[in-house]
Amino acid sequence: MKWEKKGLIFEVRKQNEWMDNSALQPTPILIDDKIRVFCGFRDKGGVGRVGYVDLDAGNPSKVLTVSKTPCLDIGKPGCFDDNGVVPCAVTPVGDELYLFYAGYNIGYHVRMTIFCGLAVSRNNGETFERASNVPIMERTNNEFLFRVIHTAMKKEDGWMLYYGAGNHFLQGKKKTLPVYEIQLLEVPDLSDLREEGYKVICNEKNEYRVGRPYVVKDGEIWRMFFGGGTEDIIYQLAYAESYDGKKWTRMDEKLNLKCSDIGWDSEMMAYPAFIRYKEKAYLFYNGNNYGYEGFGYAELVSE
């Protein structure tokens, strides 16, 4: 693959109280001739709320509108998502949009726990309503700290859910490091997700985490864009391919998209999301410090 980096699209720069810093985990959906990109916008305390940025689909560098208020706010005190919500996957179901999101809860013995919530919109994502005050994907015996869906693919006979899961932290040089890998769970519906999936992408070399599996079926090939992190390189983009969506071959070198020498994405590249529009294809992602400056994109030049 050959990409042309287009740079930052949207810089938060303390726009308001709930959009003070970061545009975490850009999650796009095509609506007519615009791309609505949902992000987790953080306030001064680092608590995320879901909002969106509308982009010109033919030229994503052009920002059309920005949500004035959160389309999904934090959960009730004591709930799994009372310390932040971040979008992970947006899936059309009939005339509704299903938003699968990460809910953050501050821990005592561990830094945090993260579980997956579901919210539904009937107005193209202007606002979302929670399906429940509890996670759609709760903890299991082996996945009891992190369990979040990042791609939800609707099929005629059910769902394919690609998610990140883990059950421990490692002690790093400066802080504890969350350990998680990428799983696949196939289910007939979303009513009961207590069953554990199976690993499709595992940590390699010095990685302590691989996550944000953004999966698309692109013609005959299934593509997975994701991120891998070590203590020295916080996050870098990674890539895998499959012919059935179940057995994956990691091919990071084929992605051919590295950190820049200087600038907003010189230290890390994370949380990729791929989308096609007519003859064009884009990859949205965060840069340094988990999207503190905002999010940007690269355009696919050749495959």
Q: What is the DSSP letter of 94?
A: T
Going by pLDDT thresholds of 50, 70 and 90, the confidence category of residue 168 is very high
Rg over alpha carbons for the chain, rounded to the nearest Å, is 18
Give residue 233's pLDDT. 87
Question: What is the rounded average pLDDT of the residues 58-86?
Answer: 97
What are 230-239's pLDDT values in tens digits? 998 889 999 9
Residue 48 has pLDDT above 90, yes or no: yes
Alpha-carbon distance of 269 to 260, in angstroms, equals: 9
Judged against a pLDDT cut of 90, whether residue 295 lies above it is answered with: yes
In sequence order, what are the residues at sequence separation of 6 or more whose Cβ sits closer than 8 angstroms to the Cβ of residue 121? 71, 96, 97, 99, 127, 128, 129
**Reported pTM:** 0.96
CA separation for the pair 108, 205 (Å, rounded): 30
- The answer to whether residues 172 and 166 touch, using CB atoms and an 8 Å cutoff, is no
Q: Give the residue from 95, 225, 92 showing the smallest Cα distance to 162.
A: 225
d(C-alpha 156, C-alpha 201), whole Å? 25
Q: Dmax of the chain from CA atoms? A: 50
Q: Is the pLDDT of residue 15 over 90?
A: no
Residues in Cβ contact with 120 at an 8 Å cutoff, skipping those fewer than 6 apart: 96, 97, 98, 99, 128, 129, 131
Predicted confidence band of residue 303 (pLDDT cuts 50, 70, 90)? confident
Nearest to 75 by CA among 136, 31, 30: 136
* Span 169-194, average pLDDT: 94
Question: In the prediction, which pLDDT does 249 show?
Answer: 97
Dist CA 38 CA 125 (whole Å): 9
Alpha-carbon gap, residue 257 to 255, rounded angstroms: 6
- For residues 155-177, b (16+ Cβ closer than 10 Å) or e, as one string? eeeebbbbbbbbbebeeeeeeeb
Question: What is the C-alpha separation between 302 and 191, in angstroms, rounded?
Answer: 41
Q: What is the pLDDT of residues 204-253, one digit of tens each?
A: 989 999 999 999 999 999 999 999 999 988 899 999 999 999 999 999 99
Per-residue pLDDT, 59:
97
In the predicted model, is pLDDT for residue 14 greater than 90?
A: no
Q: Is the pLDDT of residue 189 over 90?
A: yes
Is residue 71 scored above 90 in pLDDT?
Answer: yes
Closest of 153, 151, 12 to residue 88, by C-alpha: 151
In whole angstroms, give the CA distance from residue 176 to residue 198. Answer: 25
Q: Residue 219 and residue 242: Cα distance in Å, rounded?
A: 11
Choose among 48, 98, 102: nearest CA to 70: 48
Given a cut of 90, whether residue 80 has pLDDT beyond it is yes
